[in-house]
């Protein structure tokens, strides 16, 4: 069993007994894609909703929901799956700071963007833990498709 760490604005694919892990999901969203038949798992840690809002042409496109999810799907398809075989689980999108302005609730905007992108690919979201006001760490198990969510002062949840 190998643990594959996925950093902020990053993504990776694991298979068989690999465990994909990403830490410190505050307003960011972790997207877990899974092909049960192939035991192929993918995890992306996205920071922002849309690549059209990028201000720097050399920006890391993995940070955006639209381009990050697209790249993750491409990497998984290169390893033998197809979009029609994938299911999704998502976590994160918290509102880490109190504000009355919806424009500053980047977590909610991230979750909304992730759902829209997955919908365009017709990838069903079969489990999620999003929103609220706390950070999360996600472990995604290739062997079982279980997404384990850990948070300070909260019970561990398996979806």
Read off the DSSP letter of residue 146. P
Dihedral angle computed from the Cα positions of residues 7, 79, 35 and 33, in that order, rounded to the nearest 10 degrees: 30
CATH number of domain containing 21 = 3.30.1330.200
User: Which stretches of the chain score pLDDT less than 70?
Assistant: 98-104
The per-residue pLDDT for 102 is 56
User: Could you give the 3-state DSSP secondary structure of residue 69?
Assistant: helix
Where does 10-145 have alpha helices with state H? 65-78, 106-120
Domain count, the chain: 1
How far apart, in whole angstroms, are the C-alpha atoms of residue 124 and residue 119?
Answer: 7
> Active-site residue 77, yes or no?
no
The per-residue pLDDT for 101 is 57
From the candidates 6, 19, 28, 44, which is the catalytic residue? 28
The per-residue pLDDT for 99 is 62
pTM above 0.85, yes or no: yes
Beta-strand ranges (E) seen in 1-74 are 3-5, 10-15, 19-25, 29-35, 40-46
Domain extent for 34: 3-158
The per-residue pLDDT for 100 is 59
């Amino acid at each position: 069993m190998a643990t594959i760490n996925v950093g902020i604005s990053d993504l990776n694919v694991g298979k068989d007994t690999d465990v994909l892990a990403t830490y410190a999901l505050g307003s960011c969203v972790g997207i877990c894609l899974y092909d049960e038949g192939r035991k192929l798992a993918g995890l992306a840690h996205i920071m922002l909703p849309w690549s059209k809002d990028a201000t720097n042409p050399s920006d890391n496109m993995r940070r955006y929901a639209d381009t990050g999810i697209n790249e993750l799907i491409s990497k998984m398809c290169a390893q033998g799956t197809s979009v029609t075989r994938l299911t999704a689980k998502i976590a994160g999108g918290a509102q880490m700071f109190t504000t009355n302005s919806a424009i500053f609730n980047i977590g909610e905007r991230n979750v909304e963007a992730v759902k829209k992108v997955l919908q365009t690919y017709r990838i069903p979201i079969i489990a999620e833990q999003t929103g609220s006001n706390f950070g999360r760490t996600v472990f995604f198990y290739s062997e079982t498709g279980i997404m384990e969510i850990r948070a300070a002062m909260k019970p561990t949840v398996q979806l």
